[in-house]
């Protein structure tokens, strides 16, 4: 690997996230917070649980950041053969979508300019992950947000437990200035993580994506439909998102919804 590859955006972002995570954890352990009080009392279960949660959130972050989000495979065969084969697999009622780089786009896929690949069930490109969130890593992304929010809220409580405000200003700034800055940072991150988790749970419950939610007026397969053609109710949406059940392509689901609407209009 070339030395300059270590300075790529992905490496820098992931390194920064890791350093920030363990740096905040270290600040919480070094100051007179509830963590330190638990240690002094010999109660190591809660500090160990906190460390395991921090480690779990970091591992989930790296998993989502490094894994394939669901890239559309480009076969090495001739372009015309690929187009004919892919077109034959798509029901004729579905509007065909083409990408100048990846040939025929599957339904709900989108080309990411940052990754330079088409991603199945594209949600968004996350700059903090330096990776797309798509069909394969979206469930892990939601799990990461949930675990990260628990860690942030717990860290927020720990930082608050170590703050002592009834001290002279100069002494307080030397003893608690860094902890107070950590508290403010955790407050902001907790708000961001909470809003992200709430929005993605809403999207999952309705079986839509961030891209589809924000750009439905520009997407051909959504613009011509009054509602969301992929919504199958809360339980089935959650089961499909987290467990992959019931299985089936989005093209088939879209075509079935089209046929159901046609029958209802005929009646």
Q: Which residues are catalytic?
A: 126
Beta bridge partners of 111: 118
Sole residue written with tokens 């628990």: 150
Single out the residue of 161, 156, 121 nearest to residue 141, CA to CA: 121
Distance from C-alpha of 160 to C-alpha of 179, rounded to nearest angstrom: 8
Beta bridge partners of 103: 99
Distance from C-alpha of 259 to C-alpha of 253, rounded to nearest angstrom: 10
Distance from C-alpha of 105 to C-alpha of 120, rounded to nearest angstrom: 9
65 in Cβ contact with 136 (< 8 Å): no
Distance from C-alpha of 163 to C-alpha of 54, rounded to nearest angstrom: 22
């Amino acid at each position: 690997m070339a030395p300059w590859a270590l300075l790529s955006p992905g490496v820098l972002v992931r390194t920064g996230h890791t350093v920030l995570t363990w740096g905040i954890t270290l600040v919480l352990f070094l100051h007179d917070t509830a963590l330190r009080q638990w240690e002094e009392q010999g109660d190591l279960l809660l500090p160990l649980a906190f460390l395991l949660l921090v480690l779990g959130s970091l591992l989930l972050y790296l998993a989502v950041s490094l894994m394939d989000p669901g890239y559309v495979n480009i076969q090495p065969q001739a372009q015309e053969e690929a187009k004919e084969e892919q077109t034959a697999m798509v029901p004729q009622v579905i509007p065909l979508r083409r990408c100048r780089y990846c040939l025929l786009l599957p339904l709900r896929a989108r080309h990411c300019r940052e990754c330079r690949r088409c991603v199945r069930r594209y949600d968004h490109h996350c700059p903090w992950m330096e990776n797309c969130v798509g069909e394969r890593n979206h469930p892990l992304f939601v799990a990461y947000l949930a675990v990260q929010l628990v860690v942030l809220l717990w860290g927020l409580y720990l930082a608050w437990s170590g703050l002592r405000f009834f001290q002279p200003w100069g002494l307080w700034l030397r003893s608690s200035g860094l902890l107070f800055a950590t508290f403010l940072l955790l407050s902001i991150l907790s708000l961001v993580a909470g809003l992200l988790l709430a929005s993605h749970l809403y999207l999952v419950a309705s079986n839509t994506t961030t891209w589809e939610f924000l750009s439905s007026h520009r997407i051909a397969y959504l613009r011509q439909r009054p509602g969301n053609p992929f919504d199958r109710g809360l339980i089935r949406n959650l089961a499909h998102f987290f467990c992959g059940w019931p299985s089936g392509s989005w093209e088939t689901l879209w075509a079935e919804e089209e046929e159901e609407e046609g029958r209802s209009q005929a009646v």
